[in-house]
């Protein structure tokens, strides 16, 4: 693979490494949403959540928790966002599976796009039924 994260994994491009193990690498995002914004990637390539090896997904999740704890201890944020974008409509721009771990402070305004909406319980029940039906397929 010739993408930026594959090059980082191979050591062909530099990164500001935060943590690493045999399966994953965590490094500071060069376009951070907040101080300490860290990316966690598997060392084995996967484009997005749909084609990344399940064992790599689990390893990334474990490293995300480690990174979140490091950020909490070091930067003392008020909270942490964990964000993963798959496919362009979600905002994915680097097509290598990765998870953003973003420290948050009260009033930082980093994410202000999510507006909760009222629940339509009948529509939710129908949607849940459809999802369960596909899970059994």
Confidence of residue 110 (pLDDT cuts 50, 70, 90): confident
Active site annotation includes 98: yes
pLDDT of amino acid 109: 85
- The per-residue pLDDT for range 31-53, each reduced to its tens digit, is 999 999 999 999 999 999 999 99
**DSSP for 73-118, written as a single string:** HHH--SEEEEE---SGGGT--S-S--EEEEEE-TT--S--------
Residue 127 has phi, psi (to 5 degrees) of -65, -45
The confidence band for 61, taking pLDDT boundaries of 50, 70 and 90, is very high
Determine which one of 16, 98, 100, 121 is catalytic. 98
Residue 6, classed as helix, strand or coil, is: helix
CB-based burial of residue 26 (10 Å sphere; 0-12 exposed, 13-18 middle, 19+ buried)? buried
The pTM of the full predicted model, rounded to 2 decimals, is 0.91
Mean pLDDT for the stretch of residues 121-131: 91
What homologous superfamily does CATH list for 4-135?
HIT-like (3.30.428.10)
């Amino acid at each position: 693979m010739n993408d930026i994260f594959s090059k980082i994994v191979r050591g062909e491009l530099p990164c500001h490494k935060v943590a690493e193990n045999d399966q994953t690498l965590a490094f500071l995002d060069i376009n951070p949403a907040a101080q300490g914004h860290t990316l966690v990637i598997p060392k084995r390539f996967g484009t997005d959540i749909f084609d990344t090896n399940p064992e790599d997904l689990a390893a990334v999740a474990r490293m995300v928790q480690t990174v979140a704890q490091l950020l909490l201890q070091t930067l003392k944020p008020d909270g942490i966002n964990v964000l993963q974008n798959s496919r362009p409509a979600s905002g994915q721009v680097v097509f290598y599976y990765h998870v953003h771990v973003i420290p948050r402070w009260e009033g930082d305004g980093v994410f202000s796009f999510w507006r909760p909406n009222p629940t339509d319980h009948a529509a939710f029940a129908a949607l849940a039924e459809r999802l369960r039906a596909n899970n059994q397929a």
